[in-house]
Chain A
Amino acid sequence: MTSTPTTAGDPSGPGATGAPDPADPAGSGRAWRVARYVAGRLTTAAVSLGAVVVAGFFLFRILPGDPVRAMTEGREVTAEQREELRRQFGLDEPLWQQFLDYAAGLLRLDLGTSFQYREPVAELILDRLGSTVLLAGTGTVVAALLGLFLGARAGWRPGGRGDRVNTAVALFFWSVPTFWLGLLLIVFLASGRGFVPGLFPTGGMVDPGTDGVLETALNTAWHMVLPVITMVAVIYAQYLMIMRSSLMDEKGADYLTTARAKGLRDTLVRRRHAVPNALLPTVTLVFLNLGQIVSGVILVETVFSWPGLGQLFYSGLRVPDLGLVQGLFVVFAASVILMNLLADMVYPLLDPRVRP
């Protein structure tokens, strides 16, 4: 907690990363450390990505035993068709050759071919990436804002009534399966058979036959209400809990006593002094929890038939279309690793205490 910057005499900050001046030993040492930090993080991310590639191969080519049988489970297939599939997917080659082909394909952003859509997986993913980012982004931003806001209030007076109610509600939503909450919302708010008329659409992204930029945007927003509510309800709890405990850690700090001694009102002490400092540890954890957002978006898209990557994943599972599932597995895992790398790079800029 109290780790001080190692170069107390060098106030130049991130600017020192620019051009290291050999005449200035402190500056070049600083640049060296920054370079080492960046190189270390890049290596870790690269190794993790490599592990994802190997895991993708192991999971989908070696573990199922015979991928062709897994692909054609529950269907009548002749021996010739099986041989044809084997040739088509390169499964008649030795394993190491298959792995090299697969890894080389990944480098060219070739994720293989979907068995079900008869299209390259990469194209299928690109087509649907936008709608997933729209949904997941909106959900995350709303959940983070709500969780941080409520968490700051709960953590400021721990044990109070507001804190107890907030924590109980958050825990309840955290215990509820994401997909069930979505199903409930559909039954009661969209199906039109419950106690209220159908206020929202039961699924999809845009109604067919909608034209005009404004009209499309409004229609999409209307379709997004229930999916976003579902995502927010399930993920805001963790932001609330993180913010709450982070603020409680800050509460005893001396600078807050100083702020109070200056005669600041309680709300101002919280908003201007405590919250900005408590936000720092929260930022890392927000990035670390990205994996859960991926899980959440898969379920929400499945429930609401949102045409994104999650629904694509689900359709791949149902067939089963292992090539598609494999491609999505690699993409999901890689995107989480890259976002974590980004967090590692951004965090030192936000918090001077952890600067290399």
Chain B
Amino acid sequence: MSAPAGTPGTPEAGGTDRAGEADGATAPASPGALARRRRREALRRFAREYARNRAGLFGLAALLAIGALALTAPLLVDQADLTITGAPGTAYQPPSAEYPLGTDNFGRSVLDLVVWGSRVSLTVGFLATAVSVLLGTLVGMTAGHFGASGGTAGRIVSSALMRVTDWFLVLPTLVLAVALAAVLPRGTGTIIIAIGLTVWPATARLVRAQTLAVEARPYVERARALGGGHAHVMAWHVLPNVMPVVLAQTTLLVATSIIAESTLAFLGVGDPTTVSWGGVLEAARNAGAISSGIWWYMVPPGLAIALVALSFTLCGRALESVINPRLREQR
């Protein structure tokens, strides 16, 4: 029963004073203007609620900083320094003024590698999440909608879809993703597909539950009574109300996807031609930096993964508690 962000504002919410004055001044506002104002206010209320969550703010700030770093990486790092032949330093220099995080076994600056690696890790995280959220929303909404209002055939389709979802949910995610990544041609696209195809079931379950809740509301029945078909009901009534839940889930999934990407790269099924955090860790292990205690080679990439994953998780939890206060204690 979450109140979607787009519902009419309650009068006691702050900021309505000014809106009231504006109402008085220009009495016959057009419906479009009213809707816009309502939306603006809902957004402001949403931002205020979110700002109350300190952990969520920290996550957001960290993500903005890392995102900016990833976007400006080409200005900060000379790509020639990242090649093995163009490495500026000598092997395994401990952290110094010139190389704040030391150098790797080829003499490349570990700081440069970590800054550059953020690009691949974030890209894969976002795209894999997009794949899995699309798939999960599609399956979840179809199963929920036709299960609720599709007759016998709909119920059969719905239960078949949920069986498939449960099957994927039970399978060990990593094993499936690794198997996919191992048999498909190497590359970033493969990693995105392997992660996207394995992490969607949780979204599908969540979306189905939310769809069922929305379908039980009177206005959906009204829309159907007025002759709205399946596509109309799903696109105009169910989807907008499912979106808030999906948004929170998406944020949590990015964290999962980034960890999954680094794990696949570490297991050696990643894209060997790009620099990613997991790839740096794999290289560190293969170069023997671990057993010889070269900590500056492997601590920074892992910390970067943990920081990004933690930030996304904190943001996701904050969003979740704003969107659905009842969920606040669930996770």
Contact = CB atoms under 8 A, between A and B. Distances in A.
Nearest to B178: A317
A48 B164 CA distance: 9
Contact of B269 (A60, A193, A298, A317): A317
Contact of A295 (B173, B293, B306): B173
A336 B172 contact: yes
B285 interface: yes
A283 B307 CA distance: 31
A265 to B, nearest CB: 25
Closest 9 CB pairs of A and B: A193-B293, A295-B174, A180-B302, A191-B293, A175-B309, A291-B172, A294-B172, A175-B310, A64-B183
A329 interface: yes
Interface in B234-276: 255, 259, 262-263, 266-269
B293 A241 contact: no
Given A175-B255, A317-B182, A241 B331 contact: yes
B184 A183 contact: no
Interface string B174-192: 1110111011100000000
A349 B177 CA distance: 35
B291 interface: yes
A179 B266 contact: yes
A186 B290 contact: yes
A291 B167 contact: no
B169 to A, nearest CB: 8
Contacts of A337: 170
A141 B314 CA distance: 28
A314 B282 CA distance: 13
A320 interface: yes
7 contacts: A59-B180, A177-B262, A294-B172, A294-B175, A302-B267, A325-B182, A332-B175
A42 to B, nearest CB: 15
A288 interface: yes
A186 B285 CA distance: 11
A136 B301 CA distance: 27
B171 interface: yes
A322 B183 contact: yes
Given A175-B309, A176-B306, A187 B182 contact: no
Given A48-B170, A320-B182, A175 B175 contact: no
A248 B173 contact: no
A134 interface: no
B305 interface: yes
B306 A48 contact: no
B101 interface: no
Given A59-B179, A180-B305, A298-B174, A172 B310 contact: yes
A194 B172 contact: no
Interface string A116-142: 000000000000000000000000000
Nearest to A168: B55
Interface residues of A, number: 59
Contacts of B268: 314, 317-318
Contacts of A184: 298-299, 302
Contacts of A192: 293
B170 A183 contact: no
A241 to B, nearest CB: 6
Contacts of B281: 177, 179-180, 183
Interface in B275-310: 278, 281, 284-285, 290-295, 298-299, 301-302, 305-306, 309-310
Nearest to A48: B167
B63 to A, nearest CB: 13
Given A194-B295, A333-B172, A177 B305 contact: yes
Contacts of B266: 177, 179, 299
B313 interface: yes
B330 interface: yes
A85 B256 CA distance: 39
Interface string A184-215: 10111011111000000010000000000000
A60 B310 CA distance: 35
Contacts of B163: 47
Contacts of A292: 172-173
Interface string A44-80: 0001100110000001100110000010000000000
Contact of A183 (B173, B298, B329, B330): B298
A248 B329 contact: yes
Contacts of A194: 293, 295
Nearest to A193: B293
Contact of B291 (A202, A302, A328, A329): A202
A245 interface: yes
